[in-house]
Structure formats: C-alpha cells, structure tokens
Amino acid sequence: MFLITTETIKGREIGEVLGLVRGNTIRARHMGRDIMAGLRNIVGGEIKEYTRMLSQARNQAVERMVKEAEELGADAVIGMRFTTSQTMSGAAEILAYGTAVKLA
C-alpha cells in the first residue's frame, strides 16, 4: 500500500479513483502525563509524554485509514493529510484522510 501526500505517484498511473478514506482516533489527556507536562512547562523542554501519545494516535489513525482503503481494494492512498480538532476539554481527535486509488 502506497501512502503519499501528492496527487500522483511518480512512474505509476492511477487506473481508478475509489474515493475518500479516513481513519481517526480521539485521545484524552491523562493525569499522570499532565503532572509531568506541568513540570516540564516550568523548566522547559519537550513534553515527551504528549509526543508519544500523539505519535501513537497518528499511527492508529493511519492504520484505520489503510484498513478502509484495503477494504475498497485500493493499491494506494494519494493526497494523504492529517488534521486535528479538540472534541472537548482535554481530548483531541486525530484524523488521517486521503483518496483511495487502484493503480493501472
């Protein structure tokens, strides 16, 4: 499965556009992470607990998007993007989306 942010794949021809595919997850903050984040906010530096949490959320969103593309019989997802939104105080959605295609 090709995952690409561009609208074309160099050296490959798109045979059929299958449509929009997406995968998402919603993650909430955790009290333990908030305490460590608060301490790092005082002294400065990367908040590694949140970095890991968001990385895991992005990976899960991509896995769900790929699964949806595979169910359509896609060979690739083009124009792939990420977006985030706050769903409630302390919780955010990570959304991965793109266009599922079959290659010629």
Q: What is the mean pLDDT of the chain?
A: 88
* CATH numbers and ranges of domains, the chain: 2-28+59-103 (3.30.110.70)
**Structure confidence at residue 38 as a pLDDT band (50, 70, 90):** low
Torsion region of 66: left, alpha or beta (phi above 0 gives left; psi -120 to 50 gives alpha): alpha
Helix, strand, coil share of the chain (percent; to 5): 35, 40, 25
| % of the chain residues with pLDDT over 90 | 65
Please state the pTM of the whole predicted model: 0.83
